[in-house]
């Protein structure tokens, strides 16, 4: 029988007491404590948010650990079973993903392709200690641009099929990521090899510098990913999370990215001067302010005041962004019903550090869309 994920409600895009309780109980550092949770918490709404934000496996694990230690949460049995069901769904999915990725690692090693795990692929094995508590929709990894075709060939040899976004038929080869999928048992395993971290017309990521600053994954305690596996530096990992939020115009449907930022900052202690320098070089200073503001509110992340002052946008830009982003709460785009083009127009361009960056990206984006439109004629 195929595993079935519990029903997920449409995420609420403003912070509630249940969201704040969720963030406290999902947090690894410092450990979750029931003393921070209101006695009259709406546990049903809590479970809704935990599942919708992909934090249920982590919360279930923490609540189970507290119960084993003699501190049992006043959680209704029906709610506990919902969280437990989502945990076992995540366990089944990540077990399939990790087994699949082992074959991918071997194929990359066979071709002597150096690669870098991105976001959840790295964090599940490091910050979170176990992949199933940090669910992933897909497996993201970075290769050098001149090895992207080789990495794609390795995936195709393993039976992964490439999909091309319907709206990018003419320009898909210019994307910084490719999309592959393969059906394995009950799950559709998705893999995304990257040649960069974002659109070259929008960001100024120094690709060569990424690789020069990268370190062997063994430094993070991972010994089974072969000789070609490296990891971004701590500061580059953090800057990438800011860039990723901006790339999604802060329209992520869950809080994993915010928790990733909190745990990275708290466990790995980045050099803040280097993080600031990287954000300035990559043109993600405004996204850095927005992302850190949310983690401070939700997870009580400790960030030096001098750093927040250095990245704080001007009053007019802040006022504009606050019209569309819940900057004092979940950090999400407030209006789920807005079309993608409007989100990009209001927040995508509004969060770019420099007007010249916005103009350059607007021209490049318009050119791509015109070419794709002509290809559909």
Task: Examine the pLDDT at 2 and tell me if it is beyond 60.
Answer: no
Q: What percent of the chain has pLDDT over 90?
A: 72
Specify the pTM. Answer: 0.93
Q: Report the length, in residues, of the chain.
A: 377
CA distance to 5, 72, 96, 332, per residue, from 181 (Å): 19, 41, 13, 28
Indicate whether 371 belongs to any domain: yes
d(Cα 294, Cα 71) in Å, to the nearest integer? 29
Question: Tokens 């897909």 appear where?
Answer: 138
The whole-number average pLDDT for the span 186-192 is 96
CA distance to 66, 131, 215, per residue, from 62 (Å): 6, 15, 31
Q: How many domains does one find in the chain?
A: 1
- Highest averaged pLDDT of the listed ranges 37-51, 195-209, 266-280, 326-340: 266-280
Task: Examine the pLDDT at 46 and tell me if it is beyond 90.
Answer: yes
Indicate whether 159 belongs to any domain: yes
Indicate whether 10 belongs to any domain: no
Provide the residue range defining the domain that includes 267. 17-376
Domain with residue 130: its CATH number is: 3.30.460.40
Indicate whether 341 belongs to any domain: yes
d(Cα 287, Cα 353) in Å, to the nearest integer? 9
The whole-number average pLDDT for the span 166-171 is 68
pLDDT digits (tens, 9 = 90+) for 110-146: 999 999 999 999 999 999 999 999 999 999 999 999 9
Q: What percent of the chain has pLDDT over 70?
A: 95
Query: According to the model, what pLDDT value does residue 377 have?
Result: 66
**Contact predicate 115/231, CB 8 Å:** no
Query: According to the model, what pLDDT value does residue 1 have?
Result: 43
């Amino acid at each position: 029988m195929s595993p079935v994920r519990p029903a997920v409600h449409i995420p609420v895009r403003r912070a509630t007491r249940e969201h704040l309780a969720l963030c406290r109980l999902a947090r690894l550092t410092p450990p979750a404590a029931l003393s921070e949770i209101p006695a009259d918490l709406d546990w049903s709404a809590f479970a809704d948010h935990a599942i919708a934000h992909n934090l249920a496996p982590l919360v279930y694990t923490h609540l189970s650990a507290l119960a084993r230690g003699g501190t049992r949460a006043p959680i209704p049995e029906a709610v506990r079973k919902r969280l437990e069901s989502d945990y076992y769904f995540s366990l089944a999915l990540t077990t399939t993903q990790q087994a699949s990725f082992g074959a991918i690692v071997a194929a990359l090693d066979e071709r002597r392709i150096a690669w870098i795990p991105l976001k959840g692929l790295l964090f599940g094995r490091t910050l979170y200690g176990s992949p199933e508590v940090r669910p992933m929709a897909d497996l993201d990894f970075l290769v050098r641009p001149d090895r992207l075709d080789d990495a794609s060939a390795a995936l195709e040899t393993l039976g992964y099929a490439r999909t091309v976004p319907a709206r990018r038929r003419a320009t898909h080869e210019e994307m910084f990521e490719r999309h592959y999928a393969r059906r394995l048992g009950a799950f559709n395993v998705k893999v995304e090899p990257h040649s960069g971290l974002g659109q070259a017309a929008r960001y100024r990521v120094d690709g060569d510098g990424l690789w020069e600053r990268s370190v062997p994954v063994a430094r993070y305690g991972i010994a089974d990913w072969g000789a070609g596996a490296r990891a971004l530096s701590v500061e580059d990992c953090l800057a990438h999370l800011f860039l990723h939020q901006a790339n999604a115009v802060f329209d992520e449907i869950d809080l994993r990215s915010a928790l990733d930022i909190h745990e990275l900052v708290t466990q790995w202690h980045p050099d803040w001067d280097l993080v600031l320098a990287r954000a300035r070089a990559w043109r993600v200073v405004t996204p850095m302010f927005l992302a850190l503001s949310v983690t401070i509110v939700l997870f009580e992340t400790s960030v030096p005041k001098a750093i927040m002052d250095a990245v704080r946008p001007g009053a007019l830009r802040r006022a504009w962004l606050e019209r569309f982003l819940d900057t004092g709460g979940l950090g999400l785009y407030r209006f789920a019903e807005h079309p993608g083009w409007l989100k990009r127009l209001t927040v995508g361009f509004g969060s770019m550090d420099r007007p010249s960056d916005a103009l350059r990206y607007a021209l490049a984006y318009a050119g791509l869309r015109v070419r794709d439109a002509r290809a559909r004629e």
